[in-house]
């Protein structure tokens, strides 16, 4: 087994692809059926987007580290990430249904929003747990998208399960006018910040 192997506590195929792009070997460390993973993403009243994404990612890491210990798996670094879309102070999470997805996309149309992705890594040095976190912030501007286009996009099912009700690598990208920041961060795992964390943990990236 590779000494460079890490655990990725995420179901996102995009995050797996991005780790592959870095050449980072990984295994999935997914939640058990009795874990309430969605509860980790609940927003606190009045919580700002930056505080939210940091807290949620730290909580995901704590849950994943406990999962690794509970399953008595070999001790290896554990990587977690969370992405949120913010329009001003408002957090646009994963839409509950098609109507909410359309509402979110209508709000984003013709405006600039932020995409915040936090990455947390936990690893051990001499049996002592170390943790570090990085946050990537990008700005994305949508051109004014015709309502009929948004309706077709929602009907495709693509917005479901996505923060802000869209994926940067999907067909809606044809309406994204400008990006400032990290494309991989918008996808869900900022490669620069992730590589920084892995190097901090002594891994070769």
Which three-class secondary structure string do you get for the chain? CCCCCEEECCCCHHHHHHHHHHCCCEEECCCCCCCCHHHHHCCCCCCCHHHHHHHHHHHHHHHHHHHHHHCCCCCCCEEEEEEEEEECCEEECCCCCHHHHHHHHHHHCCCEEEEEEEEEEEEEECCEEEEEEEEEEEEEEECCCCHHHHHHHHHCCCCCCCHHHCCCCCHHHHHEEEEECCHHHHHCCCHHHHHHHHHHCCCCC
Which residues are catalytic, by number? 82
């Amino acid at each position: 087994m590779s000494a460079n192997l890490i655990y990725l506590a995420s179901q996102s195929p995009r995050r797996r692809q991005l780790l592959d792009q870095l050449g980072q070997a990984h295994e999935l460390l997914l939640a058990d059926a009795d874990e309430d993973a969605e509860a980790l993403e609940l927003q606190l009243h009045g919580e700002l987007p930056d505080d939210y994404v940091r807290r949620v990612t730290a909580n995901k890491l704590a849950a994943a580290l406990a999962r690794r210990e509970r399953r008595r798996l070999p001790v290896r670094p554990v990587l977690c990430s969370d992405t949120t879309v913010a329009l001003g102070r408002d957090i646009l999470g994963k839409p509950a249904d098609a109507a909410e997805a359309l509402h979110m996309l209508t709000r984003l149309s013709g405006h600039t929003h932020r995409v915040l992705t936090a990455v947390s890594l936990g690893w051990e040095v001499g049996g002592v747990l170390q943790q570090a976190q990085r946050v990537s912030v990008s700005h994305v501007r949508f051109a004014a998208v015709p309502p009929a286009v948004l309706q077709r996009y929602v009907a495709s099912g693509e917005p479901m399960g996505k923060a802000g009700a869209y994926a940067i690598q999907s067909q809606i990208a044809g309406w994204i006018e400008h990006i400032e920041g990290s494309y991989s961060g918008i996808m869900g795992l900022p490669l620069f910040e992730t590589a920084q964390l892995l190097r901090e943990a002594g891994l070769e990236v």
